[in-house]
Chain A
């Protein structure tokens, strides 16, 4: 990924650029040590921040009247295995008035990676965080109701992790139907 350069010739959207520049300037001033990386790819801007500062940075982005990222569009967890740190969580923020989008990313590692929940800042994060917990096994501290959401409650493991096998169903033909049927995991007579 290309490293971020502040003066990028963008597709004529000067307002968008300046809002992102303002955001970066504010973040740099307030959290100089917590910004790990600034990336720009295909016109999308990503700020990689320290997991420990995530909540405070989100709070600033949401409540600062100049920044005003009032809409959390999406929250997605990614497993970058074998890269370390292994997990990434992306927060796609939208400033409705300026029509600007910004991605905030945190990188975390470990078997049960933990982040602080942003449901207090954007309540729309509630279900996406549950989804990230369910499918990727990311713990969100401070979440009001962190249960599995898509998988059955007794499911073991987190299916979107790269070490969770995809699984398949053996194809049955008339000549081996019974043989395969015997192996299948469902109650039989």
Chain B
């Protein structure tokens, strides 16, 4: 094992990662990224190529590693929340949700019904916004660049909605342990209704541009095939797994936030290829819209934060009248609350797959260990096997189809 520890990443040592043909010069080693638009961030792929064909693909990640897990250990349960926004920057509300669910499970916090419904609304709006970025970028990788502009235009409407509810376009930290920061503003409902009327028409347009487009079909059909067993074996989750026909959706398998009460389908594909994953995600847009409609009809008046004052801040209205409330407010935001000793794992279905939070508490006000099982990390792991034997151009289509976010991979 000692030689493993001494590995310093020199050229000599990197040679061991490639085949002998690369050393003799028969095949070529090429860097793709980290600064390359089709790697969706700072992903570096070391490719061994035989002509245009990929012989080996070695992802090199970590360019965006910011030590979020380490940083969270040094913060209170409440303050660690803001770190989660910055992991998967296309799914900040979903990250908040996962972390808050873990804290709630560890501490045994009950979340009021209205807050649960608002969380579902946020998670599904976020899913649509994330899928729009996926659609735009993965289509642009296949040279359908107009779609990118259209999708970002539509996503802007969602970012405005997030700004409405959380005060920020992306790093909202709106979902808090115990509930949500504040109730939805009145402007939220017309904005969401307008969006739900607007989007289906646009999606139909995008489908007209892509779904039966012969150029798109030739780039995506029978490319990047992963069969169901292989996908599970490599840890694929989310739409990428369902594109291989495995009916596994965390919202169904381990419902959270009352997802079991909603009526929605889990779209499946059977092509196991890039096109199949594309179809699954396109159908998920419609399922998410349906869940949002159901959630709005389920919203009933009520509190949006738990009334257990160990875990919830005192309402603003009390601060002017009660000295105890001021003391509580101060202690809550400086010392935070203590969690019990124990470890929990909570999973949610992020737009990319199973996002899990493994939280270890040691009885103090700071988490002893926070580990995120991020879907992009596990999905990217399956790329080398997927890519072998295909062309470089197909590899680009595959990166788009597993929908990775490098902030989520590197944390």
Contacts and interface: CB of A to CB of B under 8 A. Distances in A.
Given A41-B344, A72-B235, A150 B381 contact: no
A127 interface: yes
B235 A44 contact: no
B342 A1 contact: yes
A166 B71 contact: yes
B67 A127 contact: no
B1 A150 contact: no
Q: Which of A1, A92, A124 has the most CB of B within 10 A?
A: A124
B61 A150 contact: yes
Given A124-B233, A145-B17, A74 B343 contact: no
Given A42-B105, A74-B345, A159-B70, A114 B1 contact: yes
B70 A124 contact: no
A14 interface: no
A42 B62 contact: no
Contacts of B62: 148-152
**Chain A contact residues (Cβ within 8 angstroms of B): what range?**
35 or more
A154 interface: yes
A99 B253 contact: yes
Contact of A139 (B4, B7, B65): B4
A80 B342 CA distance: 12
A112 B5 CA distance: 10
Contacts of A30: none
Contact of A42 (B17, B342, B347): B342
Given A149-B61, A160-B69, A78 B360 contact: yes
B328 interface: no
Interface in B340-362: 341-345, 347, 354, 356, 358, 360
A152 B62 CA distance: 8
Contacts of A148: 7, 62
B234 interface: yes
Contacts of A74: 345, 356, 358, 371, 373
Contacts of B343: 41, 44, 46, 78, 90
B9 interface: yes
A56 B200 CA distance: 52
Contacts of A55: none
Interface in A126-142: 126-128, 131, 135, 139, 141
Interface string B253-268: 1100000000000000
Interface string A39-79: 00110101000000000000000000000001111101011
Contacts, number: 112
Contacts of A112: 1, 5
A123 interface: yes
B232 interface: yes
Interface in B42-74: 61-62, 65, 67, 69-71, 74
B31 to A, nearest CB: 16
A79 to B, nearest CB: 7
A28 interface: no
B342 A147 contact: no
Contact of B358 (A76, A124, A151): A76
Contacts of A127: 377-378, 380-381
B74 A166 contact: yes
Nearest to B1: A139
A44 B1 contact: no
A90 to B, nearest CB: 7
B301 to A, nearest CB: 28
Given A72-B235, A78-B360, A153-B9, A147 B344 contact: no
Contact of A96 (B1, B248, B377): B248
Interface string B360-386: 100000001101010001101100000
A114 B9 CA distance: 22
Interface in B371-411: 371, 373, 377-378, 380-381, 410-411
Interface in A142-177: 145-154, 159-160, 164, 166
Contacts of A42: 105-106, 108, 342, 344
Contacts of A146: 1, 4
Contact of B7 (A1, A135, A147, A150): A147
B8 interface: yes
A4 to B, nearest CB: 13
Contacts of B410: 150
Contacts of B234: 123-124
Nearest to A146: B4
Contact of A70 (B108, B232, B377): B232
B97 to A, nearest CB: 18
Interface of A: 1, 41-42, 44, 46, 70-74, 76, 78-80, 90, 92, 96, 99, 101, 103, 112, 114, 122-124, 126-128, 131, 135, 139, 141, 145-154, 159-160, 164, 166
The 4 closest A-B pairs by CB, nearest first: A124-B235, A153-B9, A74-B373, A76-B371
11 contacts: A42-B105, A73-B347, A79-B369, A80-B368, A90-B358, A112-B5, A123-B234, A128-B377, A128-B378, A150-B62, A153-B7
Given A127-B377, A139-B1, 15 more contacts: A1-B342, A41-B342, A42-B105, A42-B106, A74-B371, A76-B358, A76-B373, A78-B343, A92-B358, A101-B345, A131-B377, A145-B17, A147-B9, A151-B65, A166-B67
